Amino acid sequence: MKVFVFVLSLISLGFADDEINSRYFPKSFKFAVANAATQIEGGWLEDGKTESIWDHFAHTHPEKIGDHSTPDIACDSYHKYKEDVAMVKAMGLDYYRLSIAWTRILPTGYPDKINQAGVQYYKNLFAELKAVNVEPMVTLYHWDLPQALEDELGGWLNETVADLFAEYARVCFELFKDDVKMWITINEPKQVCQAGYGSGYYAPGVVSDGIGEYICSKNLIMAHAKAYHIYDNEFRATNQGRVTMVIDTSWSEPGSDSAENQEAAERALQFGFGLYANPIFIGNWPQVVIDRIAQRSELEGFATSRLPAFTDEEIAYVKGTYDYLGLNHYATKMVNATADAPIGDPAYWKDISVSTWGKPEWPNGAGDWFSVVPWGLRHLLVWLKKTYGDVEIVITENGLSDTTGIIEDDHRISYYQGYLSACLDAIYEDGVNLSTYTAWSIIDDWEWTSGYGIFLGMHYVNFTDPERTRIPRKSAGWFTNMVKTRCLVDTCTE
Ligand code: BGC
């Protein structure tokens, strides 16, 4: 049975992109939901936790947060984690993706003092998950650098922070070695660097377009690699876990089939995703990124490229530091080449030199960077296979935002149906090695600069109620049934 959802005008590469696939998900396929410490935990200074850069940013720059809110309480999961786990259980999920707050485990940022109360919180959470047979998928760094390390060392602009991250990772690997098998070092390095140390739009708000953000990129990649090697050398043999970095990207669809626009779309992917994936999966920065930044840096009068080079030893050290590919995906963009911007102040967008837009017929979530284009995910999965080989792919985030928070969220059901169908197409038609799908998110949360103003949860949270009551949306029921039947339509075929 075929069900039509989004009638999209663009049918390319012969993909039947607008039909819901009626095959069953393979028996081994896993389903998950995700969240992150800052966005749900609250308890921001409780039991020894200290301030992270996001706590600090929200408190010192309320004007940068849509509703001037803070994550001080958020969903209060620090106290209500049992309710969260009960929801995960009720949905029949395989994994619960969560993050550990660095400031809850190591309040100074350094491994000099381990905060036992913080350790106990995660121990309790893991025990609760174990009791209901759900595996944790754990991110060590979901954007919440200890503010102390920003103040004292300049945060991710200082390579010492990569060593400190590795020490923090070792502490967590040791503390939770019996609880966690699925590790993620860093979530979305592009957002950390581009928005945190480039545009300044995200915490810590450093504006250093085309300069700081690349320094941050190298330091984050080295931080990831150091943590990976620690796991590999000290824990893998006994604990048999898996480690990777999670990288996010939109799909870039060429605006036409001209060679120029095809190259521009590829360039956008390389500057966004390849910047982080290439060193890890292939070795070194992507060549197009090296060449363009070097060329513009020289014309701008810099003595060396604004993109810090990797030494040969570093290239070899970073290459291969993955056990699977973690992908966050939310949007698709049309991409064309543009004329290079005149030489002047450096900027990331000038280095890429593309124009992007969304088709007017594409539905949007909260804002046009949440464009709803299920076939974009399929094209992206095929591109990942072509570019990085037959590596196992875990979708670590995908979901729909809205501004209404409506309980009868049929639009979110259509969204999941469309995107999960794209996953089935990629698995069965394109032979993509996709093992897991993680929805963002199980509950509404504190959405960074959007505060509590946009909603992505399959459960509504009443943020004005001190109890932070959670109420299932219609999509929670649909998703639960989908996980149970492993099928997106009324009748599926083998
Ligand atoms: C982040 C999440 C965020 C989600 C939806 C992703 O970029 O990893 O923390 O909530 O997007 O906005």
Please identify which of the residues 188, 213, 253, 447 carries the catalytic annotation: 188
Q: Is residue 30 part of a domain?
A: yes
Side-chain-side CA neighbours of residue 207 (13 Å): 2
Spacing, Cα 395 to ligand 1 middle (Å): 13
Q: How many domains does the chain have?
A: 1
pLDDT in tens, 35-53: 999 999 999 999 999 999 9
Q: Is residue 494 part of a domain?
A: no
Spacing, Cα 315 to ligand 1 middle (Å): 29
User: Is ligand 1 within 6 A of the CB of residue 187?
Assistant: yes
User: Is ligand 1 within 6 A of the CB of residue 188?
Assistant: yes
Spacing, Cα 138 to ligand 1 middle (Å): 15
**Residue 12: pLDDT band by 50, 70, 90 thresholds?**
very low
Q: Is residue 492 part of a domain?
A: no
Q: What is the pLDDT of residue 9?
A: 31
Question: What are the angstrom distances between the C-alpha of 180 and each of 8, 109, 176, 391?
Answer: 41, 22, 6, 22
The backbone region for 301, taken as left when phi is positive above 0, alpha when psi lies in -120 to 50, beta otherwise, is left
Q: What is the CATH number of the domain that holds 234?
A: 3.20.20.80
Residue 475, preceding peptide bond in cis (omega within 30° of 0): no
Q: Residue 22 is part of which domain span? A: 2-485
Instruction: Determine contact, residues 230/173, Cβ cutoff 8 Å.
Output: yes
Which residue's CA is the closest to the ligand 1 atom numbered 1? 188
User: Is ligand 1 within 6 A of the CB of residue 248?
Assistant: yes
Instruction: Determine contact, residues 316/181, Cβ cutoff 8 Å.
Output: no
> Packing angle between helix 259-269 and helix 287-300, nearest 10 degrees?
90
Q: Is residue 79 part of a domain?
A: yes
Spacing, Cα 141 to ligand 1 middle (Å): 13
Instruction: Determine contact, residues 376/356, Cβ cutoff 8 Å.
Output: no
Looking at the predicted structure, is the pLDDT value of residue 419 above 50? yes
Burial (CB count within 10 angstroms: exposed 0-12, middle 13-18, buried 19+), residue 119 = middle
Residue 204, preceding peptide bond in cis (omega within 30° of 0): yes
Arithmetic mean of pLDDT, 433-451: 98
Residue at 285: amino acid letter: W
pLDDT in tens, 182-216: 999 999 999 999 999 999 999 999 999 999 999 99
Tell me if residue 188 is catalytic: yes
**Tokens 């609760």, residue?**
128
pLDDT in tens, 270-326: 999 999 999 999 999 999 999 999 999 999 999 999 999 999 999 999 999 999 999
Q: DSSP state, 45?
A: T
Q: Residue 392: how many CB atoms within 10 A of its CB? A: 16
Of 87, 81, 83, 82, give the one whose Cα is nearest residue 101. Answer: 81
Structure tokens at 451: 């505060």
Q: First vs last Cα of the chain: how many Å apart?
A: 12
Q: How far apart are CA 381 and CA 404, in angstroms?
A: 31
Looking at the predicted structure, is the pLDDT value of residue 18 above 80? no
User: Is ligand 1 within 6 A of the CB of residue 397?
Assistant: yes
Side-chain-side CA neighbours of residue 54 (13 Å): 30
**Residue 494: pLDDT band by 50, 70, 90 thresholds?**
confident
Quote the percentage of the chain above a pLDDT of 70: 96
**Residue 166: pLDDT band by 50, 70, 90 thresholds?**
very high
Which residue's CA is the closest to the ligand 1 atom numbered 3? 447
**Residue 17: pLDDT band by 50, 70, 90 thresholds?**
low
What lies within 8 Å, CB to CB, of 29 at 6+ separation is 427, 434, 435, 436, 437, 486
Q: Is residue 490 part of a domain?
A: no
Residue at 286: amino acid letter: P
In Å, how far from its chain's centre is CA 14? 29
